[in-house]
Amino acid sequence: MRIFVYPGSFDPVTNGHLDIIDRAAKLCDKLIVAVLKNRSKTPAFTMEERVSFLEQVLDGRGNVEVIPFSGLLVDFMKEHNATTVIKGLRAVSDFEYEFQMALLNKNLAPEVETLFMMTNIKYSYLSSSAVRELASYGGNIRDLVPEKIVDQIYDKLKAY
Ligand code: PNS
């Protein structure tokens, strides 16, 4: 069984993430969306909220599972018998950071591959931080995140 992992903060999940999830899920038997717990920065949404958003919008996708994780990604990969890390690339600006992470992970666990997918051009400008900023000022996020979670994002962030 071919198990891939798509790691991230998902603070919150965006249409850009969903596009990568749908495309990556076709390349493997099981895709684990791994939601990072221990960021140095405190996330805007709690782990429960980030996981709940993902579960709400992934409804009906049979081979995708959402699992929180803390610690090293390579340890999570081993624990779940996963072969491949999926990362989305939006622009050249993503490259340097992702290149470093892929090489660090390769050094820690040579058997783990990192597979990069180019984002859909529609979402190349999109990030969770842009969604948070827009939502906090009441800007329109309806094309940027799944409809199901739009109001939940406003409810939390407009109160700031
Ligand atoms: O959505 P993000 O915040 O860009 O995701 C970053 C993530 C979760 C992929 C990255 O921070 C990560 O893999 N963290 C786990 C810790 C780890 O394994 N570090 C070593 C590689 S740099």
- Distance between CA 112 and CA 93 in Å, rounded? 24
Residue 128 annotated as catalytic: yes
Which of 27-36, 38-47, 64-73, 96-105 shows the lowest mean pLDDT across its residues?
Answer: 38-47
Quote the pLDDT of residue 41: 77
**How far apart are the CA of 97 and the centre of ligand 1, in A?**
10
Q: How confident is the model at residue 57 (pLDDT cuts 50, 70, 90)?
A: very high
Topology (CATH level 3) of domain 3-157:
Rossmann fold (3.40.50)
Q: Is 8 in the pocket of ligand 1 (CB under 6 A)?
A: yes
Find the angle CA(107)-CA(31)-CA(13) to the nearest 5 degrees.
95
% residues pLDDT > 70 (the chain): 98
- Ligand 1 atom nearest to CA at 73: 18
What value, to the nearest 5°, has the Cα angle with vertex 133 and ends 130 and 136?
145
pTM: 0.95
Sequence-distant (≥ 6) Cβ neighbours of residue 25 within 8 angstroms:
31, 61, 63, 64
Annotation says 39 is catalytic:
no
Could you read off the pLDDT of 76-134 as tens digits, one per residue?
Answer: 999 999 999 999 999 888 899 999 999 999 999 999 999 999 999 999 999 999 999 99
